[in-house]
Structure 1
């Protein structure tokens, strides 16, 4: 019986540590969700969102919006930029008159006057037609005032755009001839720190007035019907997507290829199919590199700037049609997911291997990426990387801790086991692929039980020191052969021992090894008795019983004390055989099971006897040892 002591406090401390790891993982996600910085997201959030944006973006045609592009071909046909204002006026008149567009927004501003006739026509269109002019509000914190700032809603009267707004530091407006334009939109923007345009200001404050972005100005001008009594889609969209710093995330729901793009020269030459323009909302811009209207977006490292306005306008139209993504509580979902993973980790980490736990965390991370992919369309403010960082924390902290605990436990168990098992067996245990080598299992073993005959008579009159020395020397004669033959020392029985072969590792020739050990024990006792005879002391007889059969071997016990032992009928028979040697002139008595399993030894049949606790007689044998 190998005693493996267990600390009462160790499981409590270990369980508390696992709970703390789980709580810490949940806190990481919660902090990253609920204490997100106003402007700068956590590392990796935007990169991951960009990947999701690319995956989400659709090529399904956006038939409500048409882009009129002043492209390289148009510049070659019509002439280099800037075009005469009369050409711009012709372009707008064709779109509204000949083609029947619902409205036109210009992603172009005119800070200086040009040809008088063209400017006059452009001014009339801007004042009386469904035309949205552009102006640029600047956010670089340097005073800037070029041209004339047009329009604006008094901030104290503003009701529809009640969300946070950003304050501009300057502007680039249009020339004085356009100051009576009825609709005006801001085309100023600030890219993120990495140069990618993900956010725009839906509403900007400057000197007490509020100025909408170009897309919302076009929507209010030509798409929104305020008489329906319904909530404005601008309110719904902007409130869901605007950060506390006044910037909203651009809903890049479509690739550029999903939008209808018509060359400006085709409109001027009346060559464009009217089906692509009639009743459409038109954004007039440029993809020409010569005009430098190129931006980096999550969808492309270089794309036309009017894609940004078209994307926002498409989002407003979706909200108006009731098909915009419904807002989800992404922060709460992320926190609950991390809590669920933490609960699984607290349960599995103390029970499974480091590799298994790593696989579980990897699978949880993949599942979260699927969740995050779905949530990103519905929540613009949650951190998609937070649960991944929580899982990384568990992987880098909890998994090594669990591995360290498991290694420490194994080393302690094996260190204790090495006192009772041959070093070669311990080394083999360490090399084995057994998941838990000390777990109880049924196995075929050979048990050897040895004892000193007449122990009381030998030590009864001896001083304590001498009695202890005799006992130690006798046990040494028994123990050394057991360990040398790779046996497992189960326990000492005061003046004897119990050992077995075949556990914790299976041994093919367990019967022969036990018999070899029995022979060596008797040889040691002969030498031991020769020494005693020379000292004038009585010889000591040792008795041995050996039997083979099925037994259950493993780590048994409670939280107070654990033992490694073997129990079973064959173990009991070995004990009865050792006891039977009292009345026989043979020191080693062998059972029938061992005789059947031995391959290198010869035996002498001693007859049959009903052993204690048995109903039927058992065959008894002894070894035939050649001199």
Structure 2
């Protein structure tokens, strides 16, 4: 009873553990998706997103924006940096006047005055033309106050904005500029620039990023208070006031014109007229290079160009629609956990590893589709859950499986030969001991006149005789792959065909019967030499359908076979007392056997049966 109770408790405990493992796996996804932790906590998350960004990047031409590059060729042709302010003014005047661009944003700032005429021309262009000047905010708590801070609007309460600690502005001579954008940024912990602050809060005022300022200044459709309008808006801003830069275009998708071609008026007009222009530099001498998901060394003004492209996409309604990636990740994790809780207790460790690997591959593909639609979901969330299942559930499932195998082994070794146990453990039967209807052959053997043999013997001698007799019976049963059902005091019950079905169960049982008779012949020769009377065994053998399995109760487990053929075998063993033959065989065994010859003994109505049964014995060639 205690063993059964422990077994039930272990079963309940195992089921509870499986559910706890599944719940923990889902909780890992929840934590990965909703926990307010730094991005650096999930380095694999950003690595996977970077791979997705590269795979999604399009080479389709971005025709609304042109990049004017102060590159190495321009510096060689026009002169080294820094250029006179008058030359910068010439460049802007050519873009706005000669080429008719819609607006120009400078990814450059001028913290100190230079040539007075050039500074005055720049100031006039910034005040009256479609020109956006740049200034830099610092977010590293450095109390910088360089140059003149320009622009900004009064902060709206609870507005999501990145908080700056200092700035580097243009010199006071350019303070009349009507549009100013921030070009400051904060790279992630690994040095890669993935986020920008769409608006920056400093001393009670908010300032737009450069792309936003150009969009507000010069885009075709303008809205009121543009800081809350399309693209990089509050819907995409994280709690730190930063948004993910949408690198949806490769560098080759943008039109890039050399600054020297503008100054020499040799640039193709069709690439400039009506376009939004960002003026920057890819020159290594100007050190405007950043690491991005697209490249470890990217021109800084490509970042602002990508942000501007997203604003225009959103304005035109062609930006990716927002999806609830976090909830999709959670639903996927729940589905995998439910499948795992079903398969882990039932399938092998290798099969479960394959299931987790397949689920991980499917999720990686799903996350690839989701990623452009949700900036906040963690692609690695379900992968972390799968990793947890791999490291916790798989070993636990293996341990439970090993425990079941050991219990099965211990139980079966009481009944069947080691070879049968080994074959049974290699089989794919879910529960080999569960009752099943099988075609079996039953052998029942008993010692004739047992009472008279042991009546006058001391207890020790009676026990020795019983043990020696049972060894004569048991050895052949196990040697022929039989299942030992039970000992009946001075005999045994065995059957073939369960728990593993075998085609030649009748022949194996008859082989065992013959070997029993041979064992008894040797045993009786020893008794004769000792002056003792011989021992006779009566054996009944019958084949047919029986229900075989563990029919134990809460008090004791027992593997046995029940059915009409088993009852007939018992009657045949009993009727053997009336024949000079030790083995009496039923019609079912005669029909199933293929390797033995039989002698017909006649018909007899067996106890408890209405119709006569045909009786046979073995026709031995000896």
Q: Does residue 307 in structure 1 map to residue 302 in structure 2?
A: yes
Q: CA deviation at 1:506?
A: 5.2
Q: Does residue 380 in structure 1 map to residue 375 in structure 2?
A: yes
Structure 1 range deviating more: 176-185 or 458-467: 458-467
Match of 1:477 in 2: 472
Aligned residue pair count: 620
Q: Do the aligned residues in 2 keep the contact of 1:233 with 1:316 (CA within 8 Å)?
A: no
In structure 2, relative to structure 1, the CA distance for the partners of 1:5 and 1:473 (3 Å cut) is farther
Q: CA deviation at 1:621?
A: 2.5
In structure 2, relative to structure 1, the CA distance for the partners of 1:486 and 1:359 (3 Å cut) is same
Match of 2:90 in 1: 90
Match of 1:151 in 2: 150
User: What does the per-residue CA deviation read over 1:70-93, in whole Å, with 9 as the maximum and x for residues that have no partner?
Assistant: 222222322222222222212211
| Pairing of 1:531-610 with structure 2 (within 5 A) | 540-548=535-543, 553-555=548-550, 563-567=558-562, 570-595=565-590, 601-610=596-605
Q: 1:324 aligns with which of 319, 325, 328?
A: 319
Report which structure shows greater RCO (CA 8 Å, sep ≥6): 1
Q: 2:483 aligns with which of 483, 488, 513?
A: 488
Q: Secondary structure at the match of 1:376?
A: helix
What is the distance in 2 between the residues matched to 1:187 and 1:16? 55
Structure 1 range deviating more: 391-400 or 610-619: 610-619
Q: CA deviation at 1:383?
A: 1.8
Q: 1:269 aligns with which of 264, 272, 279?
A: 264
What is the distance in 2 between the residues matched to 1:40 and 1:252? 20
Q: Does residue 165 in structure 1 map to residue 162 in structure 2?
A: yes
What is the distance in 2 between the residues matched to 1:240 and 1:347? 39
Structure 1 range deviating more: 604-613 or 270-279: 604-613
Q: CA deviation at 1:515?
A: 2.7
Q: CA deviation at 1:537?
A: 7.4
Structure 1 range deviating more: 483-492 or 11-20: 483-492
Q: Secondary structure at the match of 2:43?
A: coil
Q: Does residue 414 in structure 1 map to residue 413 in structure 2?
A: no
Q: Secondary structure at the match of 1:8?
A: helix
Q: Do the aligned residues in 2 keep the contact of 1:4 with 1:416 (CA within 8 Å)?
A: no
Q: Does residue 33 in structure 1 map to residue 18 in structure 2?
A: no
Match of 1:113 in 2: 113
In structure 2, relative to structure 1, the CA distance for the partners of 1:55 and 1:180 (3 Å cut) is same
Q: Secondary structure at the match of 1:67?
A: strand
Q: CA deviation at 1:219?
A: 1.2
User: What does the per-residue CA deviation read over 1:3-32, in whole Å, with 9 as the maximum and x for residues that have no partner?
Assistant: 999822222111111111111111111122
Runs of 5+ unmatched residues, structure 1: none
User: What does the per-residue CA deviation read over 1:154-179, in whole Å, with 9 as the maximum and x for residues that have no partner?
Assistant: 5xx3239921322233x332233212
What is the distance in 2 between the residues matched to 1:520 and 1:601? 14
Q: Do the aligned residues in 2 keep the contact of 1:361 with 1:391 (CA within 8 Å)?
A: yes
Match of 2:251 in 1: 256
In structure 2, relative to structure 1, the CA distance for the partners of 1:166 and 1:229 (3 Å cut) is closer
Q: Secondary structure at the match of 1:486?
A: coil
Match of 1:358 in 2: 353
Q: Do the aligned residues in 2 keep the contact of 1:111 with 1:175 (CA within 8 Å)?
A: yes
Q: Do the aligned residues in 1 keep the contact of 2:507 with 2:596 (CA within 8 Å)?
A: yes
Q: Do the aligned residues in 2 keep the contact of 1:38 with 1:243 (CA within 8 Å)?
A: no
Q: 1:194 aligns with which of 190, 193, 199?
A: 190
Q: Do the aligned residues in 2 keep the contact of 1:168 with 1:205 (CA within 8 Å)?
A: no
Runs of 5+ unmatched residues, structure 2: none
User: What does the per-residue CA deviation read over 1:299-357, in whole Å, with 9 as the maximum and x for residues that have no partner?
Assistant: 12222111100111112222222333333333233223222222222222212222222
Match of 1:19 in 2: 19
In structure 2, relative to structure 1, the CA distance for the partners of 1:5 and 1:486 (3 Å cut) is farther
User: What does the per-residue CA deviation read over 1:10-69, in whole Å, with 9 as the maximum and x for residues that have no partner?
Assistant: 221111111111111111111222223145342311111111111222222222211111
